[in-house]
Structure 1
Amino acid sequence: MSHTAHIPSHRKPRRNAPKTALRAGVASGVLSTIAVAGAAGTAQAEPVTQTIEMPTITADLSTAVAASAEATQQVAQDMQTQAQEDAAAATAAKSAKKAKAEAVRKAEAKEKAEAAAKAKAEAEAKAQAAERASRTEARTTPSSTSGSNAATAVSTSSSSSSSSATGSAASIVAFVKAQVGDAYVSGGTGPNSWDCSGLVQAAYSSVGVDLPRVSQAQSTAGTQVSLSNLQPGDILYWGGAGSAYHVGIYVGGGEFVGAQNSSTGVVQRPLSYDPPSGAVRVL
């Protein structure tokens, strides 16, 4: 027997296998839990890594925002440009409308002026026709005592005045006689068509004497003379002195030459054919 046999053993009794397995399982579970926790901890650490990468994400976002702002600004510019173009188009349309209205107004004014001119011409033509009719009536039927007195004076003049002209008077008489047969045209001054005052003016111009153009002024261009004391070359007038409506030239022998009207033209007639109202002597 060993000398230690009597000494109690201090070794711990062996644990049985089930308990050992249990403990091992528990330990393994603990370690597994720690491992899972560690893994979880590692998994939870990843957001920290993403947080570190946020500046890159923020930079991309800033770029996108800047691009969006630029696009918005471009849209605003486009809208402003469109608004300016629309305003310019509206202004142009307004100007065109105004120009059209002005053109229409001018056209209407022109039409009115032409109508007024036509009416005036017609009125003048009627007045001339009335004057011619009045002279014709006076030739056939004296209408007043003054007309009879004028005819008497003319008759006396034709018998007492000289029928021969000399000097400038002869040239004037020759000139007007040369135009007998020419046409009467209102406003005519020759060489083949005349009105009454145009013929008288041209006759005196042929000897270097300037006369007014119209009959009213020609009826006061010289010295008033009596119809009983006429001389060749005297200017005869019909109507009042200063308001005469017709003139002619006394050519002697009790006759005159004048551009009467569009029906007769320039004629030579006796004074009794159309007795004048008065006469003026220029030479």
Structure 2
Amino acid sequence: MALRAGVAGGVLSTIAVAGSANAATAAEPVTETIEMPTLTAALTSKVALSAEATQQAADAYQYRAEQQSAAEKAVKDAEKAHKAAEKKAEAAAEKKAEERAAAERAARSAGRTDLSGVQTAAASSSSGSSASAPSQDVPAPASGSVASVVGFLQAQVGDAYVMGGTGPNSWDCSGLVQAAFKQVGVDLPRTSQEQSTAGTQVGTSNLQVGDILYWGGQGSAYHTGVYIGDGKYLDAANPSKGVVIQDLSGYPADGAVRVL
């Protein structure tokens, strides 16, 4: 009985120890379960950071999209403004061209009115001018050459003034004078200075139609024109006026030469 009791006691002790060990082993999952909130907080933090990064990326994308949209709008606005400016410039140019054409028509109309009187004076002056022997090897003109010179000049009224211009639609002062006299076979020098010494010097108080007027000194003139009678002269004046008929009283010449 004692032996059995001892054996039974040992068995029970063994069972108790085993139970304790199993109980200890079974308690371990409880310890891990307690630590779960810590792991969950870290994971939550990572998720929050990831969400923030995603939002920042979305904001950056939206910002770039807005910038691109603004840039495209600016380009379109600039194109519209450029087209509007071009249309405005074209309209201004057309208006200026119309104004110039109207001025040319008016000047040519006035020139034709004056030409009838000029041609009458030219016919009488051409016979008297033949008695004046031209100097510096200027060839003698044919009959009626004064009227031809004046007629050519009248036809150029309204043309543009361009420095160095020799026609057919733009002239400087000496280029126009040279071209006019070339119509009747008179070869004049090209510059104002040289033209002021061509032919016979005449006083400005004794002018005849066809006389070459000059401003400045003889041999150092800076401008030339042609006297067309009635106290008027025709010249390629300047870039703002072009080829015009002007009153000699408003801009008296310093001298004149006669080649016809």
1:225 to 191, 198, 204: 204
TM-score by length of 2: 0.51
1:186 to 159, 173, 196: 159
2:104 to 125, 128, 141: 128
Q: 1:138 to 1:208 in 2, by over 3 A?
A: closer
Kept in 2: contact 1:236–1:247 (CA 8 A): yes
Matches within 5 A, 1:1-283: 53-140=29-116, 157-158=125-126, 160-161=128-129, 163-167=132-136, 170=138, 186-187=159-160, 193-195=168-170, 197=172, 199-200=175-176, 206-209=189-192, 225-226=204-205, 228-229=207-208, 232-234=211-213, 235-236=225-226, 246-247=234-235, 278=248, 280=253, 281=255
Q: 1:133 to 1:120 in 2, by over 3 A?
A: same
Query: Secondary structure of 2:159's partner?
Result: coil
Query: Secondary structure of 1:167's partner?
Result: coil
Structure 1 position 117, deviation (Å): 0.9
Q: 1:276 to 1:107 in 2, by over 3 A?
A: closer
Q: Which amino acid aligns with 1:225?
A: T
Q: Distance in 2 between matches of 1:225 and 1:194?
A: 30
Structure 1 position 154, deviation (Å): 5.9
Q: Mark the runs of 5 or more structure 1 residues left unpaired by the alignment.
A: 1-38, 143-149, 212-222, 249-259, 262-274
Q: Deviations over 1:202-233 (max 9, x none)?
A: 6699454369xxxxxxxxxxx98246456754
Kept in 2: contact 1:200–1:247 (CA 8 A): yes
Q: Deviations over 1:138-197 (max 9, x none)?
A: 334x6xxxxxxx7887677545445542228x39x9xxx99x98x969337665624464
Q: Mark the runs of 5 or more structure 2 residues left unpaired by the alignment.
A: 1-15, 142-147, 180-186, 195-201, 214-224, 237-242
Q: 1:282 to 1:111 in 2, by over 3 A?
A: farther
Question: Considering only aligned residues, what root-mean-square deviation do their CA atoms show, in Å?
Answer: 5.1
**Residue matched to 1:255:** none
Kept in 2: contact 1:157–1:230 (CA 8 A): yes
Q: Distance in 2 between matches of 1:240 and 1:73?
A: 100
Structure 1 position 66, deviation (Å): 1.8
Q: Distance in 1 between matches of 2:99 and 2:122?
A: 33
| Bigger radius of gyration | 1
Structure 1 position 79, deviation (Å): 0.9
Q: Distance in 1 between matches of 2:56 and 2:83?
A: 40
Identity among equivalent positions (%) equals 19
Query: Secondary structure of 1:77's partner?
Result: helix
Query: Secondary structure of 1:166's partner?
Result: coil
TM-score by length of 1: 0.48
Kept in 2: contact 1:186–1:195 (CA 8 A): yes
Structure 1 position 128, deviation (Å): 0.4
Q: Distance in 1 between matches of 2:193 and 2:34?
A: 107
Q: Distance in 2 between matches of 1:95 and 1:160?
A: 80
Structure 1 position 77, deviation (Å): 0.7
